[in-house]
Amino acid sequence: MNDRSCIVTGRQLSADEMIRFVADPDGNVVPDLKRDLPGRGCWVTAHRDLVDKAVAKKLFRRGLKQDVSADLELGARTDHLIAKRALGQLGLARKAGGVVTGAVQVDKAVRSGEAIAVLHDAGAAPDGVRKIDQARTFVRRMDGPDIPAFKSFAEGELDLALGGGNVIHAAILDGQPGRAALRHLVFLDRFRHFSAEFDTSGGASEKTAKDMITE
């Protein structure tokens, strides 16, 4: 294995598709999302089930070549950190004008072609989601992009990240700030929902958002 081979699957992938893990001074395995923590690191493909498998099979000891402790909550903590990072990027995008909020503004952004993704609060009413879905369908039928929709955060988290005002629906706009935020959303979505078998047949984020952020 080279330095970026997954300790679970043995597959060699780019750093952007993996998570680096290191041992802290107490010997506890921690995720290194920025890939800048000191010491020997090992890599796991960025899928929650693979992190859980690495813990269950005690693969971090082999990967880090030392006696380390990886508790059963490592996958959950990694998820929390990835989600926190994505929320932070959304907040930065909002400050840079790369995010709009409110059902009316989101609908307008989708239909005008400005939106590259939409987000819904976990507690969003089905009717509000349905109306925005209708706008997404309209764009797709007009040969526009298949705009992905995310419901990635707990109720109220989207509101806190985007500056308050009871944010229920938001749209990420095309441009560098928005694409940076979308990359983190796609990463979070893949971490949570893609299986260890690497089935890429499902999930709008793999088919559409990934294409948009790599252009």
Separation CA 9–CA 45 (nearest Å): 8
Over residues 81-90, the pLDDT tens digits come to 999 999 999 9
- Order of strands across the sheet that contains 18-23: 29-32, 18-23, 41-45
In this prediction, residue 194 has a pLDDT band, given cuts at 50, 70 and 90, of low
In this prediction, residue 210 has a pLDDT band, given cuts at 50, 70 and 90, of very low
Over residues 69-111, the pLDDT tens digits come to 999 999 999 999 999 999 999 999 999 999 999 999 999 999 9
- Order of strands across the sheet that contains 115-120: 99-101, 169-173, 115-120, 149-150
Give mean pLDDT, residues 118-144.
96
Over residues 20-43, the pLDDT tens digits come to 999 999 999 999 999 999 999 999
Q: What is the pTM of this model?
A: 0.87
Separation CA 55–CA 58 (nearest Å): 5
Over residues 146-157, the pLDDT tens digits come to 999 999 999 999
Could you tell me which residues are beta bridge partners of residue 215?
Answer: none
Is 115 in a helix, a strand, or coil?
A: strand
Separation CA 122–CA 127 (nearest Å): 13
Give mean pLDDT, residues 55-69.
96
Separation CA 89–CA 100 (nearest Å): 14
Q: What is the dihedral of CA 147, 153, 154, 157, to 10 degrees?
A: -100
Mean pLDDT, rounded, of the chain = 90
pLDDT for 200 beyond 90: no
Can you say how many angstroms the Cα of residue 135 is from the centroid of all Cα atoms in its chain? 23
In this prediction, residue 164 has a pLDDT band, given cuts at 50, 70 and 90, of confident
- Give the tokens for residue 172: 């990420």
Separation CA 84–CA 102 (nearest Å): 22
- Residue 32 DSSP one-character state: E
Domains of the chain: 15-72 (3.30.1230.10), 82-213 (3.30.1330.30)
- Give the tokens for residue 28: 């506890």
Tell which wins on pLDDT, 186 or 207: 186
